[in-house]
Structure formats: C-alpha cells, structure tokens
Chains A and B, each alone.
Chain A
C-alpha cells in the first residue's frame, strides 16, 4: 500500500500516467456500478462472438457491425417516436412501450444483419471449403464494408446520430454513499435475464442441443440429423438478437455514441470479454463482460484517462490468452452439459 502511494507521488508531476489509488478508493463504488452496467452490455455482445466462435471457430469481426446496425435501428425508432436530446415529457407507461418497440426493432435489425452476413459472406466460403485465413479476412472485410455502407451520405453519413435521451435516471438505492439509478438496474437485470434465457435455450431446447452438437463435432451432428447449415444460421441470428438488445442499453448509456465506426472497438472489447470468460461459453460471456467492464473502469480511474479503458482491456486479453487461454469458465460450447 505504501509503495502504491509512493508510486503515485513519483508520477504526480508526469501526468500522462497516474497511479491514483486515492481516486480509486474515493470512487470505488460508483466505478463498480458503472463497470457492472457497461460490463452487462459487453456481455450481451460477447455472446454473439462466443456462439459463432463455438460453432465455426471464427472470430466474427462483423458482429460489432451487427451491433451498431441495431443501435441505428434503436435510435431511428426512438427519434421517429419523438424522443430527442432532452428528456421526454410523456408518462412512464408510454416510455416503456416505446422502449420495448425500440428493443424489438433493434433486435430485428441486428438479427437480419447477422443473417445477411452469414448468407452473403460466410456461407459461400464454407461451400468452397476455404482455409481459415480466408474466413478471418472475409470477416474483417465484411465488418469494414458495413461500417462504410453506413458511412455513405445517403445511409447515415459520417456524423454521430443525434442524441436520444430515453429517460432521466432516477436514484433508487443508496449503497455505501453511492446512488444506484433505475437505469443501471434496468440494464443489469435485463442483461442477466437475457443471458439466463440464452443459456437455458442453449442447454435445454432442441435447437440449443443442435448448436452444442455442431460445436462439438459438425460431421457427427450432421449424421445424427442436425442440419449444420440451419444451426449456423440460428447461431448467427441468436447472437444478432442479443446484440440488438445490447444496442438499446448502449444507447441508454451513451446517448450520442451511435456512429458508423462506433461498434468496432466495442466489439473487440466484447470479444476480449468472451475470451476472458472462456470463449464458446455463454455464462463465461456474461462473467467476462462484467469483469472486463469492472477492470476497465478501475484502470481508467487509476490511470487517469478514459482512453486507458481500451488499453487495459487489450492487455487483459493478452494476459488471459497467455496464462489461461481457456478463460475463466473453460471454452467449449460443445462440452457444456444440458
């Protein structure tokens, strides 16, 4: 402890990297709750990476664009419903209805994008039995192409979408002197509910069993009557649906963060979360997301610049891959038991 404080003193004059333990202690709980909220969003996006990786062993770089298309869907819906930068004046029931509608639109937009990406880009490659590198290059190419389709002036253009305030966060609890808002509760609870639902779907339903079977051994699964192609499409669509939900929560947290390339780095961080939790593991995605959200936020407070969040996330990714490449909860989708 003394050394840590001493370190912060040493670095005090050279302000680009702080080691401000005091700031961390002072803001510990608010940082924690913020981290949890962001982590829940990472977790939802991470499921898409984890499922596709589990089934195809492919880093689906385009998933970040699946997410951002959902975010555009959410913002467009809310704007057309009359939401704007200032707080809405309608009653809570109406807000809830509108948000649910935006959620559905976002999920659909993302799911359709994921479906199209799979159809247009990955399926032809599978048909041709392309090498692994070709899949990765295609993934990054698709990601790029979607970003710059959004970038086109007649689609959405280079500027961020106008801010959309859904509601003013109201304090609900007071924990250790830190206020928890209803916004944070809504996000974390919905994310956990969605994740538990997905986990149950993967573990209990017939389709979920198909997904696990294909992840384990595609050829045998095909012999056992599981349609590999249909399973892959299902996986992409499932990941897309969750990314669309994450998009709503993301817009809730960062009202003016919807820009054509806004998903990319978020996607990389979500992938880091998936690896941290154990890629291919749905529960791991949530755990990894929350851990990454927490650690990223702590790092940001400790080191003194919001840009450090990304650096911390990447360093964690590398460390996890080095020390425990299977992540915290283990990797295989196929091995998870019903």
Chain B
C-alpha cells in the first residue's frame, strides 16, 4: 500500500545495520504500554528470562485457587471452567497468530479447524460414533494431524492467490465445514456426539479426575500444552521458517525475489496454524464432553481474530493475553455477554485505527538471536560526537 518503502535502500553495512536495529528497537520500546519493561526484559540473559518466567508460570498454575471477588467469574460461571476456556482461547489465538501474525495471511475461517479438532476427538471417542475408538489423549495428536491435512488441502489451492482473496475463501471454507456438519449424517448435526472421552484417572470419590464439571485438571492440561506449544512456536519464530513468514508478511514480492519459496512457507504457516486449531478443538471437545454442529459460525472465527489483533498481531504473548481477554470478558461480565460480538467488532475497528499493534506490540527485530548478531555485525555503540537528531521511528504501522 505505502509507496514510501519501495525505493532503493543502501547496502547493509555494519553502521547502517546497527542503525536499523537501533531504530527498530527504539520504535518498539516507544510503543509498549510498559516501555521500560520490555527494554529491561530484552537486556536480561536467557537463563534470567527463564528464571523470571517461573513465578509467572506458577501463578498461571495457581489460578484455579484464586477464586475470589474481583477476579473470579464465580457467581455466574464456574471459575475453573472459565479458566479452561480462557486457556483454550489463548491456545487458539497462539495458533491463529502463526497464520495472521507471522505470515500475514488473514484466515477468517479458523473455526473450521477448531471444528475439525472437535469432531476428530468426538468421533474417535464418543460411543455415539460407529468408528474405531482410541484413548482420548491419542485424539490430541490425531486432531492435529487431521486439522493439518485440512489446512494443506485448503491451503494448496488457495494460497497461490493474493492475500485478500484468501480472506474470503477461508470464510467460505468455515461455512462449508459448518454446513457439512449439518448435512452429512455421520456428523450427526444438531444431536451431535455425547460422552466424548477424557484422559484416564479416577479420583478418590469415584468421579473421573477429568470430569466435565471440573475445569481445573483440564485447565492444567491445557496450559501445559500451551507452554509446550509456546516453546515450539518461539523456536519457529526464530528459525529460518519464522523469518520466511515475516518476510512474506512484510512484502511477499520482495521475499519471493530474495529466494524465499513463499508458497511453500505459506502452506506451512497455514498447516501449523490449523494443527494448533485442531488441538485446541480436541481439548474443548473433551472438556465439554459434547460436540454438535452449533458454535462453528463465522462469529466465532471473528472472535478468534479479535483475540489475536487485540493482543498484538505477531506477538505470541499478546495472543495469549488477547485470547484470555476475549474469553474472560463475556464470562466475567455476564451483563454484557450478549453484546460481546458488538464489543469485539467495534474493538477491531478502533484498534486498527488507533493502535494497530495491539496491547503488546510485536517485536520488530527480524533477526534471530538479534543481540548476538548485533554484537557481531556492529560492536557496541561508540559515543557519538553529536547526535544527528533522534532516529526516525519506523513509519510502518506496528505489528502490521
């Protein structure tokens, strides 16, 4: 869209590379709501970052016990189940973020993969389905694989198109999955599948540990999976593939010219996103214990998109936050739950206009291990005799 970035750029000498990185980091730091925080965080060594993460993870695991007034959804909605749906939404947002945030592909039918995951879990475990039964935990990888196959089948024909067509095709795909779930008798339409399986284990009182009424074990399972997915996605982000995604997002033609096989990586992004969607669907199906053709509508897809955009497109921590918020608000504030679509629709518009980078902006550093690379390319900043004006903040809107 912008024509300003089309001009020739000077070769990245050490000086210009350092300046570029500096500009980017300055631009990033200036945007965050906790501006100092990110800078300090980035300066910590990797093990220190891990050490700091420990209490955060501990708090996350302790959340089911924080069932008190301002935080809890308790009077209206069971807090542990609310936490579980927040975690699932966070997982969905992390998956969608790979597609929308990293690769810049607008997927408006993400709920289809969620549905595929739910149906996979249901059809392999529910007594209502005539097919082969497998233990519930095996349906999680199965759901990932099936959703991934769907992602590839949808992606291969459509990802050759320019990005904006993808939006409408994925929208159509979401609708097709919903309609097929209604029409095909094997999918059981509205009556759906009862008694979807759950992980093994029976508590002291004879009730299964992973009961439908108790969200806590499900929540712990989901955030454990979420942490694993985050580690994988984090590595993906820093890998050659992740850099290819970001190159595609920023300028597909330029990426292709520089030798990035854009089509291949777009299919990868799509398939990875789809598999995470399928995984979260399988978790959701297990906790609720019931799958039918409702709730796989466009609205849910848009809600997922709102989660990613709200948190910060291209930022996995933002995606978690966004997913959790999108699930939390209607459960906590039941008075406005009916208007959640209105609220998040308006939020999308306002965010795009005033804060397109979301709550937690994406890092604009494209280089893997950028600090090491920075030291290597450009040794620490020598004190400059005079500062030739502050570096220009990047004009590209944040986490585009």
Whether A311 lies near B345 (C-beta < 8 A) is no
Closest chain A residue to B100, Cβ basis: A133
Given the known A-B contacts A125-B352, A144-B341, are A132 and B171 also in contact in the complex, defined by CB atoms under 8 Å? no
Whether A149 lies near B342 (C-beta < 8 A) is yes
Q: B361 contacts the other chain (Cβ, under 8 Å)?
A: no
Q: A317 contacts the other chain (Cβ, under 8 Å)?
A: yes
Whether A130 lies near B176 (C-beta < 8 A) is no
Contacts of A17 in B (CB 8 A): 183
CB distance from A155 to the nearest CB of B (A): 10
Q: Complex formed: what's the CA distance from A149 to B179 in Å?
A: 26
Q: Among residues 170 to 198 in chain B, which have CB atoms less than 8 Å away from a CB atom of chain A? A: 171-173, 175-176, 179-180, 182-185
Q: Complex formed: what's the CA distance from A117 to B30 in Å?
A: 31
Whether A318 lies near B172 (C-beta < 8 A) is yes
Q: B106 contacts the other chain (Cβ, under 8 Å)?
A: yes
Chain A window 10-32, contacts with chain B (Cβ cutoff 8 Å), 1 for yes, 0 for no: 00001111000000000000000
Whether B353 lies near A307 (C-beta < 8 A) is no
Q: Among residues 118 to 172 in chain A, which have CB atoms less than 8 Å away from a CB atom of chain B? A: 120-121, 124-125, 128-138, 140-145, 147-149, 151-152
Q: A229 contacts the other chain (Cβ, under 8 Å)?
A: no
Selected contact of A59 from candidates B164, B185, B309, B349, CB within 8 Å? B164
Whether A268 lies near B400 (C-beta < 8 A) is no
Whether B179 lies near A310 (C-beta < 8 A) is yes
Chain A interface, DSSP helix/strand/loop, else mixed: helix
Selected contact of B169 from candidates A219, A264, A305, A317, CB within 8 Å? A317
Contacts of B352 in A (CB 8 A): 125, 130, 134, 137-138, 141
Contacts of A305 in B (CB 8 A): 183
Given the known A-B contacts A125-B353, A133-B106, are A314 and B163 also in contact in the complex, defined by CB atoms under 8 Å? no
Whether A307 lies near B172 (C-beta < 8 A) is no
CB distance from B122 to the nearest CB of A (A): 18
Chain B interface, DSSP helix/strand/loop, else mixed: helix
Q: B246 contacts the other chain (Cβ, under 8 Å)?
A: no
Q: Complex formed: what's the CA distance from A138 to B349 in Å?
A: 5
Given the known A-B contacts A138-B353, A314-B176, A318-B157, are A268 and B348 also in contact in the complex, defined by CB atoms under 8 Å? no
Selected contact of A132 from candidates B163, B342, B353, CB within 8 Å? B163
Contacts of B172 in A (CB 8 A): 268, 272, 313-314, 317-318
Q: Complex formed: what's the CA distance from A265 to B297 in Å?
A: 11
CB distance from B3 to the nearest CB of A (A): 8
Contacts of B313 in A (CB 8 A): 133
Closest chain A residue to B349, Cβ basis: A141
Closest chain A residue to B297, Cβ basis: A261
Whether B179 lies near A307 (C-beta < 8 A) is yes
Selected contact of B108 from candidates A58, A130, A140, A311, CB within 8 Å? A140
Indicate the member of A125, A136, A149, A272 with the most B CB atoms within 10 Å: A136
Closest chain B residue to A315, Cβ basis: B176
Q: Complex formed: what's the CA distance from A310 to B182 in Å?
A: 13
Whether B167 lies near A136 (C-beta < 8 A) is yes
Whether B161 lies near A325 (C-beta < 8 A) is yes
Q: Complex formed: what's the CA distance from A132 to B396 in Å?
A: 12
CB distance from B78 to the nearest CB of A (A): 26
CB distance from A24 to the nearest CB of B (A): 18
Q: Complex formed: what's the CA distance from A58 to B345 in Å?
A: 18
Selected contact of B175 from candidates A219, A314, A322, CB within 8 Å? A314
- The number of chain B residues with a CB under 8 A from chain A is 52
Q: B41 contacts the other chain (Cβ, under 8 Å)?
A: no
Selected contact of A16 from candidates B3, B183, B309, CB within 8 Å? B183
Contacts of A307 in B (CB 8 A): 179, 182-183
Q: A216 contacts the other chain (Cβ, under 8 Å)?
A: no
Whether B1 lies near A140 (C-beta < 8 A) is no
Q: B339 contacts the other chain (Cβ, under 8 Å)?
A: yes
Whether A130 lies near B1 (C-beta < 8 A) is yes
Selected contact of B158 from candidates A14, A16, A136, A321, CB within 8 Å? A321
Q: Complex formed: what's the CA distance from A134 to B395 in Å?
A: 15
Contacts of A14 in B (CB 8 A): 185
Contacts of A132 in B (CB 8 A): 1, 163-164
Q: B165 contacts the other chain (Cβ, under 8 Å)?
A: yes
Q: B298 contacts the other chain (Cβ, under 8 Å)?
A: yes
Q: Complex formed: what's the CA distance from A199 to B11 in Å?
A: 49
Given the known A-B contacts A58-B164, A318-B172, A321-B165, are A137 and B106 also in contact in the complex, defined by CB atoms under 8 Å? yes
Whether B345 lies near A148 (C-beta < 8 A) is yes
Whether B348 lies near A59 (C-beta < 8 A) is no
Q: B8 contacts the other chain (Cβ, under 8 Å)?
A: no
Contacts of A190 in B (CB 8 A): none
Closest chain A residue to B157, Cβ basis: A322
Q: Complex formed: what's the CA distance from A151 to B339 in Å?
A: 9
Q: Complex formed: what's the CA distance from A318 to B163 in Å?
A: 14
Closest chain B residue to A124, Cβ basis: B353
Q: B83 contacts the other chain (Cβ, under 8 Å)?
A: no
Closest chain A residue to B172, Cβ basis: A314
List 30 A-B pairs, Cβ < 8 Å.
Answer: A57-B164, A59-B165, A59-B168, A121-B349, A128-B353, A130-B356, A133-B163, A133-B313, A137-B309, A138-B348, A141-B306, A141-B348, A141-B352, A148-B339, A148-B341, A149-B342, A271-B168, A272-B168, A272-B172, A275-B165, A275-B168, A307-B179, A308-B183, A311-B179, A311-B180, A314-B169, A314-B172, A321-B158, A321-B161, A322-B158
Given contact pairs A134-B397, A148-B345, A268-B168, a sample of 10 additional A-B residue pairs in the complex whose CB atoms are under 8 Å apart:
A121-B349, A133-B100, A137-B309, A138-B352, A142-B345, A144-B342, A144-B348, A145-B345, A147-B345, A313-B172
